[in-house]
Chains A and B, each alone.
Chain A
Amino acid sequence: MLAYPLIAGVLFGLYFSLLGIGLNLVFGVMRIVNLAHGDFLMLGAFVAFGVFYLLGLDPLLAVPLAFVLFVIVGIVLYGLLVPRLQQSRDPEMLSIILFFGLSQVIEALVTIAFGTSERSIPSRELGSLMTAAAKALGAKPEGGPVDILGQSFPAAWVISAVVSVIAIGLVYVYLYRTRLGTLTRAVMSRRDEAFATGINVDRVCAAAFGIGLGLAAIAGVFAPFMFGSVTPAFGADATVTAFVIVVLGSLGNPLGTALGGVVYGICYMLVQTFLSSWADLLPYVLLILVLLLRPSGLLGRKVRVA
């Protein structure tokens, strides 16, 4: 009874981590709250729809496409919006209003273009390229659910968990093993000092904003498989969930989000198992508990001195 929700919690939690990490990266570097985060996630799902329904390809191929596309979108959007926002007296507060407006615009445009109905992709299509490749190599992939410790889980959960781990790993490599990452951490730690030492803060921030949006779009590619379907209105709920995961892990520490996502995932599955009627209260209960008991989040202290 307990093994299933725990394993499900870890698998889904890793996906939750991917869902939140981009939001935290943007907040950590720029101190702006991207309330349109969930809408970029929704747009990522539409990239997957395009790859599958228009090109007839494995939706997994939408992962690199969505990432590259939204890194570019992020950099352009950063140039248009963020420098002006940073010049205001209260960029954090204004960012909430600005990105809320952006969220509404994105949702409205997608609704006009594609309608309001639920959309999804057949689950068996995710990873179909790998299945075909395995068959070509003589293997006999079984398809269907995946057995883990005697329990069966949707293959899409396992694939999304693996992609999430890879994406989080790459964020780690970016932050701790590249020069741009070092500069990013410098800006995260002390923006004014980084600026005084000659770091091109705008360039660093633009890259982080682009990567943040790119990560959201990757999470969006898996959304139709993880949540059953996606509509243009999907973004608002996704932003709330991402925000809770970010606060749970540590606001401003992207890698804390990995832990926050797994903890959230396990809590969610346990509540669904034992108190299913109350499951939608979980994000808010967790948010209140974290803010009361450990406002800095689970990995809070390491953030500012990174």
Chain B
Amino acid sequence: MLKSAIAALGLGMAMGMSLASPVLAADAPSEIKLGTLYASSGRYASISMPVHAGLKLWVEQKNAEGGVYVKAFDKKIPIKLIAYDDQSNTATASTLYNQLITQDKVDLFVADSGSVLTAPAVTIARDHKMFLFDQTGTGGSFFSKDNPYIALMSDPVSTIWPKPIADFLTKDGPALGIKRVAILYSTNEFTGTQANSLRKFIKDANAPIEIVYDQGVPTETTNYTVILNNIRAAKPDAVIHLGYAPNDIAFLRNVQDVGIKFNMLFCIYPGLETELLEKNVGAKGLQHVFTYVPPSEMAYPVNFGMNIADYRKAWDKKYSDGKIEFGFNAVAGYTTALVIEKTLSEAASLDQMDLRKAVFGLSGKLKTLDGTFALDETGGQIGELTPLGQLELNDHGHIKFVAVYPHEVATGKPVYPRP
């Protein structure tokens, strides 16, 4: 009896070994195919290229080390980056996303940057049951309980981005004298969702704050002079402009050109792409502007990957020609890569649902240069929060960040009204 039990156990172990061993060694692919898109031209090039460059930097770094560790095969495997140029065109992006899945048969499916170019990938990933590593597509509508094929890597979802602004306006604003708020936003998923959330947060707070101007403009808008005149007529104490980088550049330049001074002015991209904005608007034009404080200014402690200082050095070494600016999006691309690397080191197999399980398993545990990676049940990013800050000039006339809200992370007091 005992003999037969031992024999059965031995047989079982042998069978288990014979099934498991080939998966660990012989069946290991020669490369892990990572498929993604980027926009080398068009409206979204300036936010897409830094993200892609961050991802590419990681791929080259890992391949130079022999690849990434893949737990499913218990070995290091090189990454093959398959990347196509969608030229900021959503129709082209749709075709290329399909090609990555059906022709190239990628193992890891990564979206282009920004909500506009991520939108087609969300549907395609779901249709093909591919897990989408959503880099910076923060649109609220991408995430739902019935779609398990997505998780946001590097930015919080758009619905919670403006929470610090709304809290600042409704809690600190009345004491400062802020009673009338103007909201101007570009009509796309990223900024449109933020405008909706901001409106809701302000309304729900029941604070003595009145929204006196609330208009959307096409994302392609490059001239705000007439709109600024209309905003001025509404006499707001605070102006919140929610747009992409080219919108912010045109908006802030027009503010300077027309000579308008709003007591409080918020824009998104002076914080996210500070170098780009400083180059185009000038340090003086950014002085006292409220914005989101990016991870590069917060210097988060990390438990995986390079910290912000080391990453900056690696970036400057690789992209020394200065054609791609270092900023929030450069960090986002590298953050995506770190999540992918950690996922591969934890996932039981390359099956898409196993990848999802591994990604969600990192939630709350992974701490990168972008902050704490944390997902809600729909795959929306709820960590990596961006506090509200204000840009000031240091003694050398260069831009510096002052975090002003929430109070627990504040590094200074807000300057209000703008001198």
Contact = CB atoms under 8 A, between A and B. Distances in A.
User: Bound pair: A and B?
Assistant: yes
Interface of A: 1, 4-5, 8, 12, 107-108, 111, 114-120, 122-123, 144-145, 151-157, 226-229, 231-233, 237, 269, 272-273, 276-280
Q: Give the interface size bracket for B toward A.
A: 35 or more
A226 B258 contact: no
A4 B225 CA distance: 10
B217 interface: yes
B250 interface: yes
Given A154-B258, A233-B45, A273-B230, A115 B323 contact: yes
Interface in B36-62: 39-43, 45-46, 49
B229 A280 contact: no
Contact of B217 (A108, A237, A277): A277
B42 A229 contact: no
12 contacts: A115-B322, A116-B45, A116-B46, A117-B45, A120-B279, A144-B259, A153-B258, A157-B225, A228-B223, A229-B253, A278-B218, A279-B218
Contact of B253 (A12, A114, A152, A228): A228
A156 B226 contact: no
B88 interface: yes
Contact of B221 (A229, A231, A280): A280
B220 to A, nearest CB: 5
A145 B256 CA distance: 9
B276 interface: yes
B246 A118 contact: yes
B324 interface: yes
Contact of A280 (B218, B225, B321): B218
Contacts of B223: 12, 226-228, 272
Given A226-B223, A276-B227, A277-B215, A117 B257 contact: no
A154 B276 CA distance: 22
Nearest to B229: A4
A8 B280 contact: no
B17 interface: no
Given A116-B41, A233-B45, A277 B257 contact: no
B411 interface: no
B113 to A, nearest CB: 12
B249 A123 contact: no
The 9 closest A-B pairs by CB, nearest first: A228-B250, A115-B323, A154-B257, A116-B45, A280-B218, A227-B222, A233-B41, A145-B259, A120-B280
Given A120-B279, A228-B253, 19 more contacts: A107-B41, A115-B49, A115-B321, A115-B323, A115-B324, A116-B49, A120-B280, A123-B256, A144-B259, A145-B257, A155-B257, A228-B223, A228-B246, A229-B249, A229-B253, A273-B226, A273-B227, A278-B218, A279-B217
B309 to A, nearest CB: 24
B222 A123 contact: no
B197 to A, nearest CB: 19
Contact of A231 (B45, B253, B282): B45
A125 to B, nearest CB: 10
B187 interface: yes
A278 B221 CA distance: 11
B325 interface: yes
Q: Residue among B40, B215, B229 with the most chain A CB within 10 A?
A: B229
A116 B40 contact: yes
B32 to A, nearest CB: 28
Nearest to A277: B216
A279 B225 contact: no
Nearest to B41: A233
A291 B351 CA distance: 55
A273 B228 CA distance: 10
Contacts of A233: 41-43, 45, 88
A131 B245 CA distance: 31
Contacts of A228: 222-223, 246, 249-251, 253-254, 280
A123 to B, nearest CB: 5
A271 to B, nearest CB: 9
